[in-house]
């Protein structure tokens, strides 16, 4: 199993705190936004005598409420098209194990969510990366490049939209091109939509579910973690209109027994979160994105594209080795008693050697903290022994 690039530097951050430093955590997508009151109140008002198993596919009440949420967005699904999972992570592993046999391949644009590597490793699946580039904001690589990678072992393509770690928001045209490729070779198109609500500048989120003629090939992966700032709830789902996939995935769900009852009660209530909550969250993240991107591009030698969604950026820094720099800034640097924790981008690439001068940052802190963190980064880059020439 590969180590998580998001968490592997935690011991160094912990030591920095023991040394009295304040650590600005830009390494992990843990929002500081308050969880909706309707969700928290549902937990506070729970009343039951037996904390019982739930159905392996999730409670009908929760799946019915989820279908209501998705159908407002145009998914046109029924509760029977939904399998509730223990977090989005389990949704990905069950989807992989259901649709892809051991030794088969899945194509993933890189950089990609690092745990795809771990989930594929657990399932004995081979990740085949296809490179996207920071110079064009990590847009989807040309479809012709995807086609060159397809072999008799290829079973699917996975995208995260909006993207973690890059924040790139895929266009309808890009998804239509993927659709045609998947239909041509009868591939699954896995769509990780954890950041669906986080699209900026009036840009539209497009799911493959919206596209005609691909219902049997699309498997959507989702979670409450980011949408409701409820990462600890560990509640996700698989959505597909492919009945065979649902039936097969249910076997994996039965083997792990059931998703949590309390989480589903909270998740059911969460669907009634008012639109005003998301409007305020979107404004806040837009401000944070604009603050971080402006500050990064104002530092000599740094380049950061402006992402269209999610709450991450990947930035290119004037450094020789991102892993060494991210450890050094925790171990050997402080400014006004503070330092910064970031995720080296090497862990988001599967191709050896890529991401050596890139880091991922999550703009999950308020703008004051973001500005303080950028002050630290600016000075650290000037002092870092492995700084490269601009």
Show which of 231, 251, 270 is a domain's final residue: 270
Q: pLDDT tens for residues 86-125?
A: 999 999 999 999 999 999 999 999 999 999 999 999 999 9
Position 3 in a domain: no
Q: How many domains does the chain have?
A: 2
Kindly list the distances between the CA atom of residue 235 and the CA atoms of 66, 141, 185, in Å, as whole numbers in the listed order: 12, 32, 32
Q: Are residues 102 and 246 in the same domain?
A: yes
Query: Do residues 23 and 17 lie in contact, with contact meaning Cβ atoms separated by under 8 Å?
Result: yes
Q: With pLDDT > 70 as the criterion, what percentage of the chain qualifies?
A: 100
pLDDT higher than 70, residue 390: no
Within 13 Å, how many C-alpha atoms sit on residue 273's CB side? 25
Q: pLDDT tens for residues 228-273?
A: 999 999 999 999 999 999 999 999 999 999 999 999 999 999 999 9
pLDDT higher than 80, residue 315: yes
Q: pLDDT tens for residues 275-304?
A: 999 999 999 999 999 999 999 999 999 999
Position 390 in a domain: no
Q: Are residues 42 and 177 in the same domain?
A: yes
Position 250 in a domain: yes
What is the rounded (10 degree) CA torsion for 7, 8, 13, 18?
Answer: 110
Give the domain CATH number at 319. Answer: 3.90.1150.10
Query: Do residues 315 and 342 lie in contact, with contact meaning Cβ atoms separated by under 8 Å?
Result: no
Domain that holds residue 187: 37-270
Kindly list the distances between the CA atom of residue 293 and the CA atoms of 160, 265, 284, in Å, as whole numbers in the listed order: 21, 38, 14
Q: Are residues 23 and 125 in the same domain?
A: no
Kindly list the distances between the CA atom of residue 148 and the CA atoms of 51, 123, 139, 145, 156, in Å, as whole numbers in the listed order: 52, 24, 18, 5, 14
pLDDT higher than 90, residue 22: yes
Q: What is the largest CA-CA distance in the chain?
A: 66
Band (pLDDT 50/70/90 cuts) for residue 389 is confident
Show which of 251, 270, 289 is a domain's final residue: 270
Q: Are residues 250 and 281 in the same domain?
A: no
Position 4 in a domain: no
Band (pLDDT 50/70/90 cuts) for residue 386 is very high
Distance CA 60, CA 235 (A): 15
Position 252 in a domain: yes
Q: Are residues 222 and 147 in the same domain?
A: yes
Q: Are residues 96 and 226 in the same domain?
A: yes
Query: Do residues 335 and 383 lie in contact, with contact meaning Cβ atoms separated by under 8 Å?
Result: no
Show which of 270, 288, 305 is a domain's final residue: 270
Position 1 in a domain: no
Q: Are residues 226 and 302 in the same domain?
A: no
Q: Are residues 71 and 152 in the same domain?
A: yes
Position 379 in a domain: yes
Position 2 in a domain: no
Distance CA 37, CA 373 (A): 30
Q: Are residues 289 and 251 in the same domain?
A: no
Lookup result for tokens 């159908």: 71
Distance CA 341, CA 329 (A): 8
Give the domain CATH number at 108. Answer: 3.40.640.10
Q: Are residues 216 and 161 in the same domain?
A: yes
What is the rounded (10 degree) CA torsion for 385, 387, 388, 390?
Answer: -140
């Amino acid at each position: 199993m590969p180590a998580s690039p998001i968490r592997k530097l935690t011991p160094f951050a912990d030591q920095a705190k023991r040394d009295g430093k304040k650590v600005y955590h830009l390494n992990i997508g843990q929002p500081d936004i308050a969880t909706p009151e309707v969700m928290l109140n549902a937990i506070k008002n729970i009343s039951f005598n037996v904390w019982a198993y739930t159905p392996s596919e999730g409670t009908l009440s929760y799946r019915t409420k989820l279908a209501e949420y998705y159908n407002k967005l145009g998914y046109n699904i029924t509760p029977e098209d939904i399998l509730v999972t223990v977090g989005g992570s389990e949704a990905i592993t069950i989807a992989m194990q259901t649709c892809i046999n051991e030794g088969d391949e899945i194509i993933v644009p890189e950089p990609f969510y690092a745990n795809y590597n771990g989930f594929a490793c657990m399932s004995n699946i081979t990740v085949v990366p296809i490179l996207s580039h920071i110079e064009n904001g990590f847009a989807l690589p040309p479809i012709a490049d995807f086609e060159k990678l397809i072999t008799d072992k290829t079973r699917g393509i996975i995208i995260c939209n909006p993207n973690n770690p890059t924040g790139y928001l895929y266009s309808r045209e890009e998804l239509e091109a993927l659709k045609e490729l998947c239909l041509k070779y009868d591939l699954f198109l896995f769509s990780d939509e954890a950041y669906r609500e986080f699209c900026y500048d009036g840009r539209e989120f497009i799911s493959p579910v919206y596209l005609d003629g691909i219902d049997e090939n699309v498997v959507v992966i989702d979670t409450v973690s980011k949408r409701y700032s409820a990462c600890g709830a560990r509640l996700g789902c698989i959505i597909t209109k492919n009945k065979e996939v649902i039936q097969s995935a249910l076997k994996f769900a039965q083997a792990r027994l059931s998703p949590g009852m309390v989480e589903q009660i909270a998740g059911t209530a969460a669907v009634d979160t008012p639109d005003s909550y998301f409007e305020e969250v979107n404004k806040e993240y837009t401000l944070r994105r604009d603050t971080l991107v402006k500050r990064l591009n104002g530092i000599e030698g740094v380049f950061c594209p402006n992402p269209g969604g999610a709450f991450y950026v990947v930035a290119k820094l004037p450094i020789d080795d991102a892993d060494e720099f991210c450890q050094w800034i925790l171990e050997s640097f402080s400014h006004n008693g503070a330092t910064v924790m970031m995720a080296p981008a090497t862990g988001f690439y599967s191709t050896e050697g890529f991401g050596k001068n890139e880091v991922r940052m999550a703009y999950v802190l308020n703008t004051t903290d973001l500005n303080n963190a950028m002050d630290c980064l600016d000075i650290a880059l000037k002092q870092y022994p492995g700084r490269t020439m601009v």
